[in-house]
A and B are shown apart, each in its own frame.
Chain A
Amino acid sequence: MSADLAITNGTIVDADGIRRADLRIENGVVVEVGEKLDGDTVIDADGLVVSPGFVDLHTHLREPGDEEAETIQTGSRGAALGGFTACVVMPNTNPAIDSLAVVQQVLDAASDALCEIVPAAAMTIARAGEQLAPMAELVRAGVRIFTDDGTGLQNARLMRTALEYAGGLNHLTDGFDVVLAQHCEVESLAAGGVMHEGEWSSVLGMPGQPAEAEELMVMRDIALARLTGGRVHFQHVSTRGSVSMIRAAKEAGLAITAEATTHHFTLDHSACQTYDPAFKVHPPLRTEDDIAAVKVGLLDGTIDAIATDHAPHTRQAKERPFLSAPPGMLGLETAFAVANTELGADIEQLVRLLSVNPAYIAGIDDRHGGRIEAGRPANLTVLDLDEEWTVTGAAMASRSTNTPYEGRTVRGRVRHTFWNGDHVVDMGEATR
């Protein structure tokens, strides 16, 4: 009989709610949940929360193409330290994930990862917005989410086509509806904008993107979801108008889901006044009013998931002028603590937003999210909700340091992470 491990005295929070229970893990699987359990190794989780591992719907790990900024191995270590046991990795790599070969390359590179790497594939070849990627072939290889993230698919006719075509792939997925995830940004209106268009862009003398550049595409794709019956996921929702439209579309019964990033509910456009490109991100940091609307959307269920949009960039890339620096911020290692500190959600809501709902959206709820019960793979994280710590980019596992929370004190720390029973984070340290 192989060695087993027990987590005792903890508070389990999962899709079923909150309860006090011990659990025992053996051969990578939760084998028992109950009272007074024992094992060869015992982790005393007194005062701690035991949650299904987090699932990030929106991660950029830069491999292949920009391994100086991040690799799947370094990024997944950061993910594990952040409590994540699965990351949906975005296809804006170089080359883009738009073929079976690149999906296989990513999965091969994930062989030494510290969490499950779930490749999303591009909707269109090379993310160029012109020709559909071989969606059926990619779905057969396991892909469930398609996105041209980094840009939105501008052509409405092609978006309609993609939604219609995706609707014919259910026989390859045991009935799961393939997700088209959209980065909403109408380029002709956002063109050249490097921050939110408002009083700060006006004073700072930088071209802005109006909220409407996002909202017009949200509006269009809600209409196309209605037209086609297709399943649309809105990525990194950042404006009050987007939240309102998504709420109304869900009330109308459309198959729509949405995510918001931690930075879009914690940082506003005034952060750009130092011209520090750490605060450059797409969609841009918006207004306090937008932040309030995104928070309400997360708390009332309009927005289903917290995503990181973890986007590493090298020091030299982020030391360019704000105008020409690449957009993006780190997020994996801070998401839970920032949400725990700033969102005003209880732990049950946080577990739904960080684990249960995103696992369902990504079609990986057979092994992530859901319930902690006997027979399920041991994808778990153990959380201290009260520990305070100070964010430092240099201390992160990521190869890059572009966190927007440098120096900020946050509350909530990941103590342990188990991925298929593998103890990848032990007492807050990655084990490999």
Chain B
Amino acid sequence: MTATSLRQRGPKHLLSMADLDRDDIEQILNLTESFAEVSERSIPRVPALRGKTIAWLFYEDSTRTRLSFETAAKRLLADTMNFSVGSSSVNKGESLRDTVETIAAMGIDGIVVRHGAAGTPRQVSEWTDASVVNAGDGWHQHPTQSLLDLYTARQHLEDLEGKHIAIVGDIKHSRVARSNALGFSAMGARVTLVAPPTLLPSTLDAWPVEVTHDLDAILEELDICYLLRMQLERQGQAVVPSLREYHTEYGLTSARADRLPNDALIMHPGPMNRGVEIAGEVADRPAAVITEQVANGVSVRMAVLFLLLGSGLDVVDEQRAIA
């Protein structure tokens, strides 16, 4: 497999981590390294997407992901178009398809979609010729989050083959969990989900994972402890008796963090609930690479946008061109 395989296959969209195999992921992560180097320059700009137009179609509140994508696009000198759902025709009852076709008619190359309903980016991809990037769809997928997590993990652990990652928390309602279960296992890592049964899907038969309800039993063998944000309103749905009990049973307390191996990483997609899924003090330890994840998000999204929207040049050539 060569570095150009993903490009030669001509993927048009990034909708799910299920679309990517290990070689694809490695290619994206390698490209991310080049863009990370760009980001460190005094003028962090490359004209790789000059003349391309990207529209943001965010149907769900997002500050972090959206800023990250916007920064990535700016560094590639792409033009961007912001479709603000709150003040748009969507509130006047326009259908999703009509919205997409309206934006597409203005001439765009890419659409970055976030929506509260699973599968929406895939539907959008069927209504436009532009490339579609899934920036999070309901409980389903958040592929760029997974890629930035893999990139961050790889920076510290080098090869992820055989490494053991625990994903802890509200798996059932988490697109990050669905993406990372696929992403980490594609890279050869062992993935264990840790959650009470009420925060797991009723079956995990199709997931490449192991499951436990006992975080304490596996702490010493982990290379990564990945904590998910606990949706505070879940308490009201009575899926956990109380946030206090959740913290006691499933939170990464100081005592639990002390039992992790010295070189283990603590990761979190943000935003954190300090004192719920992670003790406030633990989030500030050197092992917690949470702000690195955010920083790497920009470079990963540059790589993804470039791969999907870049000019006809071979990836290697373009890497050379931007170097």
Question: Chain A residues in contact with chain B, CB under 8 A?
Answer: 197-208, 210, 274-276, 316, 319-324
Evaluate whether A208 and B202 lie within 8 angstroms (CB atoms) in the complex, with A275-B123, A319-B96 already known: yes
Task: Write the nearest CB–CB distance from A95 to chain B, whole angstroms.
Answer: 23
| Minimum Cβ distance to chain B for residue A313 (Å) | 13
Of chain B, the residue at the smallest CB distance from A320 is B96
Chain B residue, CB-CB nearest to A198: B203
Which residue of B has the minimal Cβ distance to A210? B202
Report the stretch among B28-36, B111-119, B152-160, B309-317 that lies at the interface.
Answer: B111-119
In the bound complex, do residue B141 and residue A205 qualify as a contact, i.e. CB atoms below 8 Å apart? yes
Residue on B nearest A207 in the bound complex, by CB:
B139
Residues of B within 8 A of A199 (CB): 203, 205-206
Could you say which of A202, A276, A323 contacts B201, with CB atoms under 8 Å apart?
A202
Closest partner residue, chain A, to B119 (CB atom): A275
**A205–B203 contact, CB under 8 A?**
no
Taking A198-B203, A199-B205, A275-B118 as contacts, is the C-beta distance between A205 and B96 under 8 angstroms?
A: no
Enumerate B108-144 residues with CB–CB distance to A below 8 Å.
Answer: 115-120, 122-123, 137-141
Closest to B202 in A: A197
How far, in whole Å, are A429 and B138 apart by their CA atoms in the complex?
Answer: 45
Please provide the 4 A-B residue pairs with the shortest distance between their CB atoms, ordered closest to farther: A275-B119, A321-B117, A205-B140, A205-B139
Assess whether B123 is in contact with A319, with CB atoms less than 8 Å apart.
yes
Tell me which residues across on chain B come within 8 A of A274, comparing CB atoms. Answer: 122
- Tally B residues with Cβ within 8 Å of A: 26
Prevailing SS type, chain A contact patch:
loop
Q: Does B97 contact A (CB under 8 A)?
A: yes
Q: Are B138 and A202 in contact (CB under 8 A)?
A: no
Query: Which of A275, A276, A316 is within 8 Å of B95, CB to CB?
Result: A316
B139/A206 in contact, CB under 8 A: yes
**Shortest CB distance B263–A (Å):** 32
Q: Given the complex of chains A and B, what is the CA–CA distance between A320 and B95 in angstroms?
A: 7
Interface contact B203-A322, CB-CB below 8 Å: no
List residues of chain A with CB within 8 A of the CB of B97. Answer: 316, 319
**What are 7 A-B pairs at a CB distance below 8 A?**
A199-B203, A205-B138, A206-B119, A275-B120, A320-B95, A323-B116, A324-B117
- Provide the residues of chain B in CB contact with A276, threshold 8 Å: 123
Contacts of A204 in B (CB 8 A): 118-119, 140
- Bound CA span A200–B118, Å: 13
CA of A15 to CA of B95, assembled, Å: 49
How distant is the Cα of A323 from the Cα of B115 in the complex, in angstroms? 11
- Residue ID in chain A nearest B173 by CB atoms: A205
Contact A323 B96, beta carbon cutoff 8 Å: no
Question: How distant is B121 from chain A, measured CB to nearest CB, in Å?
Answer: 9
Give the distance to chain A from B60, nearest Cβ to Cβ, in Å.
12
* Chain B residues with CB under 8 A of A207: 139
CA of A418 to CA of B243, assembled, Å: 67
Q: Is A205 touching B178 in the complex (CB atoms < 8 A)?
A: yes
* Distance between B211 CB and nearest chain A CB, rounded to angstroms: 12
If A205-B178, A206-B118 touch, whether A321 touches B202 (CB-CB below 8 Å) is no
A198, B122: Cα distance in complex, Å: 21
List the B residue with the shortest CB-CB distance to A203. Answer: B206
Interface contacts beyond A202-B206, A203-B178: sample of 20 additional A-B pairs, CB < 8 Å, sorted by A: A198-B203, A199-B205, A201-B201, A202-B201, A202-B203, A202-B205, A202-B207, A203-B207, A204-B118, A204-B119, A204-B140, A205-B140, A205-B175, A205-B178, A206-B119, A206-B140, A275-B120, A276-B123, A316-B98, A321-B117
Which of A197, A210, A322, A324 has the most chain B CB atoms closer than 10 A to its own CB? A322
Q: Please report which residues of chain B, range 175-224, place their CB below 8 angstroms from some CB of chain A when the two chains form the complex.
A: 175, 178, 201-207
Of the candidates B98, B120, B205, B206, which one forms a contact with A321 in the assembled complex, judged by CB atoms under 8 Å apart?
A: B120
- Given contacts A204-B119, A205-B141, whether A321 and B203 have CB atoms under 8 Å apart is no
Measured between beta carbons, the chain B residues less than 8 angstroms from A197 are 202
Which residues of A lie under 8 Å from residue B202 when comparing CB positions?
197-198, 202, 208, 210
Known: A201-B201, A203-B206. A321 touches B96 (CB 8 A): yes
User: Which partner residue on chain A sits nearest B177 by CB separation?
Assistant: A205
Residues of A within 8 A of B205 (CB): 199, 202
| Beta-carbon nearest neighbor of B141 in chain A | A205
The CA of A208 and the CA of B201, in the complex, are separated in Å by 9
Whole-angstrom CA separation of A163 from B283 in the bound complex: 61
Q: Are B122 and A205 in contact (CB under 8 A)?
A: no
CB-nearest residue of chain A to B127 = A319
- Neighbouring B residues of A320 by C-beta, 8 Å: 95-96
Name the CB-closest residue of A to B122.
A275
CB distance from A47 to the nearest CB of B (A): 42
A316 to B207 alpha-carbon distance, docked (Å):
34
Q: Find out whether the CB atom of A322 lies under 8 angstroms from the CB atom of B117.
A: yes
Task: Find the B residue at minimum CB distance from A206.
Answer: B118
CB distance from A221 to the nearest CB of B (A): 25
- Nearest Cβ distance between residue A277 and chain B, in whole angstroms? 8
* Chain B residues whose C-beta falls within 8 Å of the C-beta of A322 in the assembled complex: 117-119, 123
Closest to B95 in A: A316
For B119, what are the chain A residues with a Cβ–Cβ distance below 8 Å?
204, 206, 275, 321-323
State the CA gap A276–B118 with chains docked (Å): 11
Contact partners of A275 in chain B: CB under 8 A: 118-120, 122-123
| A203–B177 alpha-carbon span in the complex (Å) | 11
CA–CA, A111 and B159, complex, Å: 74
By a CB distance below 8 angstroms, the chain A residues around B117 are: 321-324
List residues of chain A with CB within 8 A of the CB of B123. 275-276, 319, 321-322
Smallest beta-carbon distance A212→chain B, Å: 11
Chain B residues within 8 Å of A203, by CB:
178, 206-207
Q: B95 contacts A319, CB within 8 Å?
A: yes
Question: In the complex, A274→B125 CA distance in Å?
Answer: 12
Q: Are A321 and B140 in contact (CB under 8 A)?
A: no
Closest to B117 in A: A321
Cβ–Cβ < 8 Å partners of A205 in chain B: 118, 137-141, 175, 178
**Nearest-Cβ distance from residue A22 to partner chain B, whole angstroms:** 52
Chain B hits for A208, CB < 8 A: 202
Chain A contacts of B204 at CB under 8 A?
Answer: 202
- Residue in A closest to B120 when the chains form the complex, CB atoms: A321
- In Å, the complex CA distance between A351 and B100 comes to 47
Residues of A within 8 A of B137 (CB): 205
- State A205–B204 Cα separation when bound (angstroms): 12
Q: Which B residue sits closest to A208, measured CB to CB?
A: B202
Measured CA separation A210–B201 after assembly (Å): 12
- CB of B103 to closest CB in A, whole Å: 15
